């Protein structure tokens, strides 16, 4: 009995200690291993730094200069502000900012919080590239390199040339199709009346230079060759550069596509008086009218109807202000009742066909604004309608014929090449 009491006391104390350990003690699994006990916090930092850092976000802001906006305002909208903007503006000091047109494309790009490159597209052919360096912003002007090819277009007339071009030149924009139609009409101006000669079913073919910029902009160049099938008859044109360096269009036989003279010296409302006998509107007597009168508004531009040299430009009695131009082969043209003369037109100056030489007026013996136009052949006044009809332009020189015939054969063969036809449908 006396031995049992100490043992019960011992068991009670042990049980009580076990309860305390269970209530407040930590499990063995929570204890650090020896290696962990001596691990410093700096080791965790090194481990975190050793992981790969994320790549910086790229910056690519494309914008255009608004009307009345400054470059600084545009730069700040793209993330270049403060001192950075000031340095960037200094880098474009060679560019007159007052002449920069509204709508100019601008690209601001980089790889961090401060953009590192700015590109100003000043024109289709010219850009300024600004780059941020350790010493600040530097700028360089660059010429845009355009890629040039030749586009072939084949069309069939259903109503008008403009409509046919719109259906055929699908590789071009609507505006470029119109431009090409008008250029084609200009090439054949003296051979084909586009409002009367074209019939349903007639065909045309055109080879035209096309340039494409790195950004995808497209512009048209010169027509290098073209042809019309008019009611089964072909008339063709080739742009050829002669030995003297001048370039113009010639037909398949080497004859110039340009007439020696324009059909009329201005855009007129009506012919108010023709060549022949008439009662003078001021003098009231029958008198031979030795020219053609074109009614037109005062100030209407008057064109030289052919290449020549000015022999008179001044006042001459009933003619008022009069202009005389001497052409080749004994032809002289006279323009009367002028309000004034174009800049640079004086005796001895050379003029080219179609250039503006004067302006319609009502000086001298005149009752209303009009142009009095005369043609003299070897000093004798002739009816302009018949005198100019027989005048032909200079044919291609014999020395140029071999090169012309080789070029003609090459270009005409291109009309039917599969790759050229495919090129015309590239953007269909």
Q: Where along the chain do its domains lie?
A: 59-143, 145-258+393-428, 270-387
Question: Tens of pLDDT along 283-303?
Answer: 454 455 568 888 889 999 999
Identify which has the larger pLDDT, 68 or 224.
Answer: 224
What residues contact 14, with CB distance under 8 A and at least 6 apart? none
Q: Report the C-alpha dihedral over residues 316, 320, 325, 331, rounded to 10 degrees.
A: -80
pLDDT at 20: 45
Given the structure tokens 């800049």, which residue do they identify? 343
User: What one-character DSSP code corresponds to residue 161?
Assistant: H
Domain 145-258+393-428 has what CATH class? Answer: alpha beta
Q: Do 321 and 341 contact (CB within 8 A), yes or no?
A: yes
Per-residue pLDDT band for 400 (boundaries 50, 70, 90) equals very high
Q: Do 214 and 224 contact (CB within 8 A), yes or no?
A: no
User: Does 145-258+393-428 match 59-143 at the fold level?
Assistant: yes
CATH of domain 59-143: 3.10.450.350
Identify which has the larger pLDDT, 353 or 315.
Answer: 315
Q: What architecture is the 270-387 domain classified under in CATH?
A: Distorted Sandwich (2.70)
Question: Tens of pLDDT along 53-70?
Answer: 566 667 778 888 888 888
Distance CA 421, CA 414 (A): 9
């Amino acid at each position: 009995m006396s031995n049992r009491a100490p043992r019960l006391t011992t068991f009670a104390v042990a049980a009580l200690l076990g309860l305390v350990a269970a209530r407040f003690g930590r499990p063995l699994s929570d204890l650090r291993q020896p290696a962990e006990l001596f691990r410093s916090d700096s080791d965790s930092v090194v481990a975190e730094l050793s992981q790969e850092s994320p790549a910086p976000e790229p910056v690519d802001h494309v914008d255009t200069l608004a009307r009345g906006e400054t470059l600084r305002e545009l730069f700040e909208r793209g993330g270049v502000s403060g001192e950075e903007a000031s340095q960037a503006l200094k880098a474009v000091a060679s560019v007159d900012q007052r002449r920069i047109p509204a709508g100019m494309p601008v690209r601001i790009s980089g790889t961090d919080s401060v953009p590192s490159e700015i590109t100003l597209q000043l024109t289709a052919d010219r850009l300024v590239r600004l780059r941020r360096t350790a010493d600040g912003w530097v700028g360089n002007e660059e010429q845009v390199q355009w890629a040039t090819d030749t586009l072939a277009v084949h069309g069939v007339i259903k109503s008008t040339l403009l409509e046919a071009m719109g259906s055929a030149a699908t590789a071009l924009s609507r505006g470029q199709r119109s431009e090409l139609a008008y250029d084609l009409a200009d090439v054949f101006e003296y051979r084909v009346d586009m409002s009367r000669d074209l019939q349903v079913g007639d065909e045309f073919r055109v080879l035209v230079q096309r340039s494409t910029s790195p950004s995808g902009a497209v512009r048209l160049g010169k027509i290098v060759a073209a042809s019309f099938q008019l009611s089964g008859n072909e008339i063709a044109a080739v742009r050829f550069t002669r030995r003297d360096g001048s370039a113009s269009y010639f037909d398949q036989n080497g004859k110039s596509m340009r007439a020696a003279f324009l059909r009329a010296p201005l855009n007129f409302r009506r012919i108010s008086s023709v060549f022949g006998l008439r009662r003078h509107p001021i003098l009231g007597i029958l008198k031979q009218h030795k020219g053609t009168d074109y009614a037109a508004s005062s100030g209407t531009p008057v064109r030289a109807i052919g290449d020549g040299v000015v022999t008179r430009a001044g006042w001459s009695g009933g003619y008022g202000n009069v202009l005389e131009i001497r052409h080749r082969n004994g032809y002289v043209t006279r323009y009367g009742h002028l309000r004034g003369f174009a800049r640079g037109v004086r005796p001895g100056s050379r003029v080219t066909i179609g250039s503006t030489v004067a302006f319609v007026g009502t000086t001298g013996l005149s009752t209303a604004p009009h142009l009095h136009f005369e043609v003299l052949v070897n000093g004798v006044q002739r009816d302009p309608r018949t005198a100019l009809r027989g005048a032909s332009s200079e044919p291609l020189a014999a020395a140029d014929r071999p090169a012309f015939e080789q070029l003609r054969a090459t270009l005409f063969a291109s009309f039917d090449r599969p790759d050229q036809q495919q090129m015309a449908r590239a953007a269909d």
